[in-house]
Structure 1
């Protein structure tokens, strides 16, 4: 998803070319000159009908986020629960993908790490976004709406978040064969720090290896009033090993392994909400995420019909919860023992993927056809370790196997100014119960879905284009739907139709020779029926709009995005309460000293969100009305090319400059107050 704004754009004007040139190699005219146009921090993706935002390496470094949640919540239409903490930071895109205060994921948002699907199961008041270290990634791509998500899932109605990890070549320059990059950072609010060490090795053109070792720790932060927000601190060790070997120009093998862990001691069982009955249940909790894959690629340079990859993937997500006092205090006179406090939750996924991209022409139509086959098994266990109980799975987290296979195809067809992109996915699954009370082992539930979309983009002029998408999704049942006495959810898939329409504008030299403007506005409408993810809800209607703009003038740059959404349930006109507040984000920056110094200031305004029936702040703090707020931030990056500091990277960021006290809608806690983050990095 590169954009022309990611590279220097050279404009040349030629004049007085003779009408009767005798030779194509002749030039008889006047060369007026060239103008180099810089980059904005976040380029707008105007060349596609997909509603997508790309956060590249430069922006990741500049923001100095402590969690991946802090990165993606800067995208219009995206909100998170506990976004500043990795624990239960559930993703919400266009109002879909998480139930704040209840579950972490419901299948409506896909999370992908280097092509690996993550976070597919619900864990009561503990599930959410995989706990990943931001320093691992070179790029984050956030697709809002169904978009290009059919490659990975049938039910990603809300959207897809794609994380791309770093490569050894990112840290090697010229003929370098080995490099070490060390980074240290400090964050004032929470008195925390981070260390990451990267080793890059490329002895020849065949072998490339990257090793990563990181550790991050942050204490409980303070809000704008100076009050400590309990249970928001965390520590996070992480590691990654990634290597590839190119046998020749056509054959390549890649191996990958990553490890992320986040332990907590003596914290409330409920990772979402403080102050309810679960707050009396104190536990030790360790969240571990492991991902590994081995891939073989075949891409002969003399055959455009073959760009093939076969991949075996292993993913393990584990939450271990223990407690010496497994009782919930119901009243001063009554406590209830619970098996929630001593359970090992584990989701293991193993699957094979075969993909090929073929590029060919049929008459005037240029095709880029992606086809794929995926076959796999997801095993879910929630083993109760408390000897007081009979064992088996925790009743809140049914266990079993999910055996599935899927075929999918996407064809990007270019016909002059018109681009059509049809997508199809057929998926079949068999869910099998194991270790669940009142459900016989081996009980099977089968389901299948045929889903797809058609996207179109037409360039009215070189600068202006219109686009639209029509998509149909089915969110197939997951193992969590296999609850006692509930046969409806396990036998019913959620269906949705999404319509999008939009306009994009992309031009150079608008007001000056060295400026560029990009803008994209998208209107969307989503209708969901046969709903199983939300209590007392059968239908959901959502409509909204998103705007993204970027402007560059010489060394100055500006980015802006805005979003708004409205929704109702059950055809009654009652408000759908999981929509984020309307928001506007603006950043302005300048590059100085030939790009060595980068300064930017950012402002975010969120309007009040009162379109909700909830008033209980104890049990539903995320969806009670929120007040409007405006916060400001400042970032500075300095990479000197000469002198004693040459080769170092010095960065500083100041968040919530005015120390505002606020709670983003859908968040269960007040946000951090003023915070300063300083970092120093050096590649040797």
Structure 2
């Protein structure tokens, strides 16, 4: 039996064996009455065939993450290319979504904020996940694999990240019309902190508004050996305004504008790696992210066929880079001038979406039918501001327009214990070159794609279910492929087929009246061909396993997740080196005093990764073999309802308690050593 097979057998045994307890319970006809079952910190989504993890508002508050990357890296099958730093924080899901040490995005992972799509194009050694303030969000949904991603993109083979921002109603209770929440926090490793202010206003039943302002600053952190990891510090002011107006019970108008900004001074151009020739180029860099939408909703209470939304969406990601000494040091005797040193990168997307959700039945089958239409334009410029060069876009970042439209449909059909979910998306695009050397202005490249998936879930019993998904994706060419006129990559879409099979368990009263066990085991296999995102790679095959479990007994709760993946390239035995390392994470905690006090301890173990030795440690340090490690953390929260501290939220989180020195596989930097974060918040 191979190593992957042995691991699959063990994980399957863990997930399936509790089912016998359910069978025993079914033969026991004793009525135990109404029992209140608590929740774990991170519930397992056992009611869907999609491989999805939901990080809710409570977990976000407890973890006190300084960056969204710190939240996402706790999900099985997800890794960070740039460690926890927000600068070029590239996200890798199931081995896809970024090239460690080179680009921040390859189109195979979608990022969505309140329905607005983000993360458009690659930027050499600078691109990545949009810089986002964790305090803005009430929920982060991580979809691994194609799953439900066809609503947003044709090429999200790796997965989709869906961020949902907070609402005014989250801070208003009963008949409150106004609330002010102030939060202060301090982080020891990096000697920094956060201040955030939230104002919620609801003067009547029709209008609600939320305003947010935050400022976070953190210095360079130290690793577990006490060494300072250079260029990891940052400051980040952020702001958001969001509101909804209900004209009546059916008609509403919602708008949002959010702003995140992160400046750096005198840092290496290469945001990923410190030590190669690009690190000899020192620059000032400012990263700005803006997101906005205005939506009209129509949902009459007496018509289940209409739940309509029309949206105007806007997104802009900007990286401004300047340098007074625009030279790369090749060796002690040779310096080369570069247009990378003074460039203003800007990617904007403006688009309209029309969506409707209809609920109806056809005989014994109930339907939840989502239909949508999307049309818009992505524009990318990379204007060189150095007068030494001709005006136009940087050679490393071609500019132009991506005009596209798409139509999509998803039908969730339920027939008794069986749920079938077909999805279909059609997308058409026209790429137009603008201000690029070697490519005439107005040069067009057209492409289109039909993509989709079919998912099925069958509940064998009230507790035990099996599920599977078959999906086809096409990752259409992006503007970065406009490097050479008529090049193969601009005419080629990357294609992928993904299969998923799994089992889930949702068992109440396993060994006691007030306990619950939830588990989900997923096997997946992805084959990608016509690959253009990875050097010397035409075909990728990936196979992996993911396990999520939670157990609740009274006030006690625990969570466990594990992941393992293997892959090859070009139809050979050569390993695909961008897969995350094998890992297992376990946490146990307790809520006391009617949920006013909570404490949780967490352990993460990562196995040694030396299957894909990479000798190019200078340019690709993330794929250099990594050692095994185990780290521990703890969170404590106290939210008293009575006494002098009533209404306050007091929290402490401890990361890497034993000050372990380690580097996660694919990360280009050593991880932070021990860190303590303390916070106090109060809603007035």
Q: Give the TM-score band, short-chain normalised.
A: over 0.9
- Residue in structure 1 matched with residue 180 of structure 2 by the alignment: 180
State the shift of 1:484 in Å.
2.2
Structure-1 separation of matches of 2:37 and 2:420: 31
- Residue in structure 1 matched with residue 7 of structure 2 by the alignment: none
State the shift of 1:212 in Å.
0.2
State the shift of 1:83 in Å.
3.1
Secondary structure at 2:82's aligned position in 1? Answer: coil
Structure-to-structure mapping, 1:162-311, within 5 angstroms: 162-311=162-311
2:511 paired with 1:526 = no
Structure-1 separation of matches of 2:540 and 2:223: 34
- Residue in structure 1 matched with residue 4 of structure 2 by the alignment: none
Cα deviation 1:614-659 (Å, max 9, x = unaligned): 1222221100100100000000000011110000000001100000
State the shift of 1:142 in Å.
0.2
Structure-2 separation of matches of 1:675 and 1:222: 9
- Residue in structure 2 matched with residue 116 of structure 1 by the alignment: 116
Structure-to-structure mapping, 1:239-638, within 5 angstroms: 239-484=239-484, 487-638=487-638
Cα deviation 1:66-95 (Å, max 9, x = unaligned): 000000110000001123110011010000
Secondary structure at 2:480's aligned position in 1? Answer: helix
State the shift of 1:117 in Å.
0.4
Secondary structure at 2:35's aligned position in 1? Answer: strand
Contact 2:431 2:479 in 1 (8 A): yes
2:86 paired with 1:86 = yes
Structure-2 separation of matches of 1:677 and 1:486: 53
Cα deviation 1:483-517 (Å, max 9, x = unaligned): 02661110000000000000000010000000000
More RCO (CA 8 Å, sep 6+): 2
Contact 1:576 1:611 in 2 (8 A): no
State the shift of 1:32 in Å.
5.3
Structure-2 separation of matches of 1:374 and 1:36: 44
Structure-1 separation of matches of 2:343 and 2:418: 55
Cα deviation 1:343-383 (Å, max 9, x = unaligned): 00000111000000000000000000000000000110000
Contact 2:273 2:621 in 1 (8 A): yes
Structure-1 separation of matches of 2:233 and 2:497: 40
Structure-to-structure mapping, 1:34-45, within 5 angstroms: 34-45=34-45
Cα deviation 1:366-413 (Å, max 9, x = unaligned): 000000000000110000000000010000000000000000000000
Contact 2:83 2:669 in 1 (8 A): no
Contact 2:557 2:589 in 1 (8 A): yes
State the shift of 1:34 in Å.
2.9
Secondary structure at 2:190's aligned position in 1? Answer: coil
Contact 1:79 1:93 in 2 (8 A): yes
Contact 1:42 1:54 in 2 (8 A): yes
Secondary structure at 2:60's aligned position in 1? Answer: helix
Secondary structure at 2:505's aligned position in 1? Answer: strand
- Residue in structure 2 matched with residue 8 of structure 1 by the alignment: none
Cα deviation 1:183-214 (Å, max 9, x = unaligned): 00000000010010000001111001000000
Structure-1 separation of matches of 2:631 and 2:666: 17
Unmatched segments (≥5 aa) in structure 1? 1-12, 18-29
Contact 2:32 2:513 in 1 (8 A): no
Structure-2 separation of matches of 1:255 and 1:130: 20
Secondary structure at 1:395's aligned position in 2? Answer: coil
Contact 1:259 1:288 in 2 (8 A): yes
Structure-2 separation of matches of 1:31 and 1:44: 27
State the shift of 1:62 in Å.
0.4
For structure 1, which segment, 79-88 or 107-116, has the greater mean C-alpha deviation from structure 2 after superposition?
79-88
Structure-2 separation of matches of 1:370 and 1:31: 40
Contact 1:615 1:625 in 2 (8 A): no
State the shift of 1:33 in Å.
4.0
In the comparison of the two structures, how many residue pairs are matched? Answer: 660
Contact 1:505 1:518 in 2 (8 A): yes
Structure-1 separation of matches of 2:569 and 2:139: 36
Contact 1:249 1:301 in 2 (8 A): yes
Contact 1:103 1:126 in 2 (8 A): yes
- Residue in structure 2 matched with residue 151 of structure 1 by the alignment: 151
Structure-1 separation of matches of 2:406 and 2:654: 46
Unmatched segments (≥5 aa) in structure 2? 1-24
2:679 paired with 1:679 = yes
- Residue in structure 1 matched with residue 8 of structure 2 by the alignment: none
Structure-2 separation of matches of 1:188 and 1:58: 22
State the shift of 1:35 in Å.
2.2
Contact 2:83 2:668 in 1 (8 A): no
- Residue in structure 1 matched with residue 13 of structure 2 by the alignment: none
State the shift of 1:613 in Å.
3.8
Secondary structure at 1:673's aligned position in 2? Answer: coil
Contact 1:626 1:663 in 2 (8 A): yes
Shift of the 485–333 alpha-carbon distance from structure 1 to 2, 3 Å rule, reads: farther
Contact 1:596 1:640 in 2 (8 A): yes
- Residue in structure 2 matched with residue 69 of structure 1 by the alignment: 69
Structure-1 separation of matches of 2:32 and 2:371: 48
Give the TM-score normalised by the residue count of structure 1.
0.95
State the shift of 1:279 in Å.
1.1
Secondary structure at 1:71's aligned position in 2? Answer: helix
Structure-2 separation of matches of 1:425 and 1:61: 36
For structure 1, which segment, 33-42 or 434-443, has the greater mean C-alpha deviation from structure 2 after superposition?
33-42
Structure-2 separation of matches of 1:450 and 1:188: 51
